[in-house]
Structure formats: C-alpha cells, structure tokens
Amino acid sequence: MDSPPLYRQLATHYLDAIRAGSLKPGDKLPSLRSLMRQHGISLSTALQFCRALESEGWVEARDRSGYFVRRPRRLAIATMDEPVADVAPDPAQYVGIHSKVSDFVARRRQGEVQVDFSMARGAPELYPAEALRAVMVRMLRQRPNLLTTAAPSRARTPLREAAARRGLRVGMTLAPEEVLVTNGCIEALNLALRAVAQPGDTVAVESPTFYGLLQVLESLGMRALEIPTSPQTGLSVEALEMAIEAYGHIKAVVVVPHLQNPLGSVMPDAHKQRLVELCERHAIALIEDDTYSELLDADAPPRAVKSWDRTGNVIHCASLHKVLAPGLRLGWISAGRWHGRVEMLKYTQTRSNEELAQCAAGEYMGTGAYDRHLRRLRERLQVQRERTADAIAAHFPAGTRLNLPPGGLQLWVELPERLSSATVFDAALRERILVAPGTLFSNSSRFDHFLRINCGWPYDDAIDAGLRRLGAIVGECTAAQPKDTTPERKAA
C-alpha cells in the first residue's frame, strides 16, 4: 500500500509534537523557508503541510507573522459530572422504548436531511472498499460455487480464524470453533440474552446505553435495571454491587467496556477484573459488547473483559460494523459455557451467515493491511472528533458541556439549563439537521438534556455549517424556554 504524501507525513510528525506538548498553544512553527531547509522539501510541500494543519484546526495563520499552534476551544468547555452511584438504582422496565425509537426513525424519514449527526457511523470513504472488493473477486475466481453453495455451520471460516487469532492480542485464548459468526453485534447480543435469561428476568445495563439494546430487551420481554455509568470509567461496579444486594435476582449484566455508546467511556483494567469477579461470585452472566475497542486511540489494544474469565461466565460479542465494513453486517460471539445453547439458538433464528463476506473479511484481517487501515481510521476519526468538539465549544451557548473520548465515532453533549433534547430535535429537524436526542438512551427522563453527535464524517464546510446552525438552535431554544422563577432558598 502506498505511503502517505510527504506533506501528510510531515503533518503527522508535527501533530505528534503538539499532542505530546513539545509544541504548545502559542508556539510558532518554523517559517516556510526553515521548513524547506530542515526537511529538504519544496515550497509547495511546505505550504501544503501548513494549510493541512490549519484546515484541521491545529494551527492558525497570523498576518505577516507565520503559523502558530492554536489553543483548542474545546479545552475551555466544562466536563460532565460523575453520576451519583451511592444509592441502589430503581428497577424500570423499558416499556415503550421501541415506540420512541420507531417515532425517531419515522420522523427522520419524513423529509430530506441535509446534515445527519444522529448515527454512530463512519463515512463510506473511511473503509477499504477497493481492497475488500479485490479479495472478494479473487475468492470467487478460486471458488466459483461460493455463492451457490450453502454455508456450512461449523466450518473453520477465515473470519472465525481471524477473530480467534486477534483475540490473543486482547488477552483471550479462543479456538475458531468457539467463535460463532452473527449478523452484526446486535444479533450476538440477542443470542446472548436469550441464552442466559427468560421473559420477565432482570438485566443490568449501563445508564445511558445504546437504544438498540433497549429495543432487544423490550422485544424479549426482559426488565432492564439502569446502573449509573461514569463518562470517564464506565459502569459503576460499586452501584452494580449495591443493586445485586438490593434485588438479588439479576440474571445478566451487559457492558460496553471500551468507548461506551453514547458516553465514550473506557473501563480501567482494575474495574473490568472486579466486574468479572463480582458476576462470577453471584452467578450472573456477564455479556461484553466489544464493538468499539479497535477505535481506541492507544498504542496497544485494551484487554477484553473476557480475558479475566476462567469459568466461561463471560460472553464476548464483537463486530466489524464500525471498524471495517458496515455493509457486510458481520459480527461474532464467543459464549463460554453457553456456547452449545447459543449455537442452537442461532441455527433456529437465522441459520448460518453467507460465506463470501466471511471469507473476504477474514482474509483481509489476516494481513498487515488491516492494521494499517485501523491506524488511518483512528487518525482520521481523532481529527474529526477534535474539530467537532472545537465547533461545539465555539458555537454552542455557555453552559454546554462534554467530555472528549479517547477514540470512537461520537460525542455525548450536555445541553445548557437542562434544555430538552426533544425540543432541539424538533427545531433542528425543521431545518433538515438530524440529531439523536438523549431520550433514546434511557426510558427515564434523566438524559433528556443530552444529545449524541456523530463525528464519523470528514469535517467539511457542510458539517461546519450544520454545527454552527445547531449551536444557534440550541441557543434559541434555551432563550425561549420558561425560566425557573422559584425564589432561591437562603441557607439557615
């Protein structure tokens, strides 16, 4: 695969220096002549380098003075509070979450959307479409009957082998036969829940959590118990322990340990280990949704929760939907001691996945090209998140808060003065801007004043204009909402 152009290599070198603090906000970059002399580059390359850093928001040009490192506006925006986790949560059945999500989907389809910030999804150009197409063409030449032959249910497909092999990098030891391919991670979660719980059973979930999980729970007739979740460290193990002591009938816990959707939090290893031990001690199935870990900005991949599992009590679910090929809808599950039951449920529910996609994805994952793709994907997403955060800091009204996650596709934004996200959703949709209101991520109203903002599309003029207008809409809605006129109580 071709290396990046010279100006891009130079930009990456200076970006590393900015992120490491070697170049601080306000520091001046070398002049164009100095850059040409120091790096042996042409004037054109030096200009491309400076303009690339400027367009990505890292430096600013000052008239007659040169280029200077910018202080990101996002550094001035307040971070979110930690959740209250010292009281046992109230159990709540997610009745009606499907109707809320259905209304959201129906309304976004009513008219043409010009700027879509609602989905946790990457742009098609971020993924290696041409490389995957070439692999598929080669596969069909080698095996002409691949599309007309039923896929075997227990074969060691390239995808099962690749998933097992990459599991070693995150501390798991899996045989390919322990990996079952699914239609994305949502089917894997569905199978896991059906294997360990029955209608009416209680399942502990993070709060807030991905609305697709809430839909699955509702469709299965299960009760969800919201556990406070930190925007920094993920699910509160202490709050979960209190809930277990208070209710004692929790059948399963579902957790997204890395880049939790929608918060973007990452669980420390010590928390993961405690969680595994707690669930094992109380005979509660632990279901790990590991959809986003490959998008984490880190030199080494984080340890999977399942890497601490010694008894088969952790069910590991993963997906390529966010990291390689959204169009293939490929995921997998390693179900531990429930493997046989999950295998039969899969057979009953959807049979085997088709084989061409598995072969192509698995073969590509087995090459160095896959890791190079992931590095590029993480770098581009980092720029997009940071520019989006800067725009929110610049254009949203005072009182807006967010945490910038260390990777991933989205930002979780707290609106000022507890402004209703449903109000913002309605106003933005009238102007063909689509957002995901916080009401989708819980059946309670505690996240009504939040929005999830997608950062998966390259930051361009349309995205910038959409964020400017969305910020103005938030300001207009904030100014229009009734003010609390209750007299402030004085301290005794």
Asked whether 361 and 373 are in contact (CB, 8 A), the reply is: no
CATH code (residue 191): 3.40.640.10
**Which residues neighbour 36 within 8 Å (Cβ) at sequence distance 6 or greater?**
42, 43, 46
List % helix, strand, coil for the chain (3-state, nearest 5).
45, 15, 40
Q: Which of 355, 370, 385 is the last residue of a domain?
A: 370
The pLDDT of residue 305 is above 50: yes
Would residue 347 count as lying in a domain? yes
User: How does pLDDT run across 425-435, given as a tens digit for each residue?
Assistant: 999 999 999 99
Rounded to whole angstroms, how far apart are CA atoms 238 and 127?
39
Q: Is residue 156 domain-shared with residue 67, that is, in the same domain?
A: no
Q: Which of 370, 401, 433 is the last residue of a domain?
A: 370
Name the pLDDT band for 2 (thresholds 50, 70, 90): low
* Selection from 285, 281, 279 nearest residue 195 by Cα: 285
For residues 303-318, average pLDDT: 98
Rounded to whole angstroms, how far apart are CA atoms 189 and 332?
10
Name the pLDDT band for 88 (thresholds 50, 70, 90): low
User: Is the pLDDT higher at 482 or at 448?
Assistant: 448
Asked whether 268 and 296 are in contact (CB, 8 A), the reply is: no
Would residue 273 count as lying in a domain? yes
Strand order from edge to edge, sheet including 410-414: 401-402, 410-414, 450-454, 436-437
Would residue 208 count as lying in a domain? yes
Would residue 327 count as lying in a domain? yes
Q: Is residue 110 domain-shared with residue 175, that is, in the same domain?
A: no
Asked whether 459 and 388 are in contact (CB, 8 A), the reply is: yes
Q: Is residue 141 domain-shared with residue 287, that is, in the same domain?
A: yes
Rounded to whole angstroms, how far apart are CA atoms 435 and 455?
12
88-92, 127-131, 288-292, range with the lowest pLDDT? 88-92
- Token look-up 């969680």 returns 275
The pLDDT of residue 488 is above 90: no
pLDDT at position 324 is 97
Q: Is residue 245 domain-shared with residue 256, that is, in the same domain?
A: yes
* Three-class DSSP labels, 371-424: HHHHHHHHHHHHHHHHHHHHHHHHHCCCCCEECCCCECCEEEEECHHHCCHHHH
Rounded to whole angstroms, how far apart are CA atoms 294 and 283?
30
pLDDT at position 490 is 40
For residues 246-253, average pLDDT: 91
Please give the span between the terminal C-alpha atoms of the chain, in angstroms, as a whole number. 71
Asked whether 449 and 438 are in contact (CB, 8 A), the reply is: yes
Name the pLDDT band for 484 (thresholds 50, 70, 90): low
User: Is the pLDDT higher at 275 or at 51?
Assistant: 275
Q: Is residue 111 domain-shared with residue 170, that is, in the same domain?
A: no
Would residue 490 count as lying in a domain? no
For residues 285-292, average pLDDT: 98
CATH code (residue 466): 3.90.1150.10
Asked whether 70 and 29 are in contact (CB, 8 A), the reply is: no
User: How does pLDDT run across 220-238, given as a tens digit for each residue?
Assistant: 999 999 999 999 999 999 9
- Token look-up 């036969």 returns 177
Q: Is residue 132 domain-shared with residue 119, that is, in the same domain?
A: no
Average pLDDT, the chain: 91
Name the pLDDT band for 96 (thresholds 50, 70, 90): low
The pLDDT of residue 489 is above 70: no
Domain ranges, residue 423: 76-84+93-125+376-479
Would residue 488 count as lying in a domain? no
Using alpha carbons only, give the angle 249, 251, 255 rounded to the nearest 5 degrees: 125
Q: Is residue 52 domain-shared with residue 121, that is, in the same domain?
A: no
Q: Is residue 417 domain-shared with residue 297, that is, in the same domain?
A: no
Q: Is residue 214 domain-shared with residue 140, that is, in the same domain?
A: yes
For residues 126-154, average pLDDT: 93
Q: Is residue 342 domain-shared with residue 457, that is, in the same domain?
A: no
Q: Is residue 217 domain-shared with residue 364, that is, in the same domain?
A: yes
12-21, 169-178, 302-311, 354-363, range with the lowest pLDDT? 12-21
Would residue 484 count as lying in a domain? no
pLDDT at position 485 is 52
Amino acid at 407: G
pLDDT at position 477 is 97
ω into 482 cis (within 30 of 0) = no
For residues 300-311, average pLDDT: 96
Count of domains in the chain? 3
3-class secondary structure, 205: strand
User: How does pLDDT run across 340-399, given as a tens digit for each residue?
Assistant: 999 999 999 999 999 999 999 999 999 999 999 999 999 999 999 999 999 999 999 999
CATH code (residue 12): 1.10.10.10
246-250, 369-373, 482-486, range with the lowest pLDDT? 482-486
How many CA atoms, within 13 angstroms, populate the side-chain half-sphere of residue 380? Answer: 19
Rounded to whole angstroms, how far apart are CA atoms 324 and 330?
10
- Token look-up 């090459």 returns 367
The pLDDT of residue 90 is above 70: no
Phi, then psi, of 452 in degrees rounded to 5: -100, 125
Q: Is residue 268 domain-shared with residue 153, that is, in the same domain?
A: yes
User: How does pLDDT run across 322-333, given as a tens digit for each residue?
Assistant: 999 999 999 999
Would residue 444 count as lying in a domain? yes
Q: Which of 318, 335, 370 is the last residue of a domain?
A: 370
Percent with pLDDT over 70 in the chain? 95
For residues 95-108, average pLDDT: 77
pLDDT at position 162 is 97
Amino acid at 330: L
Amino acid at 13: H
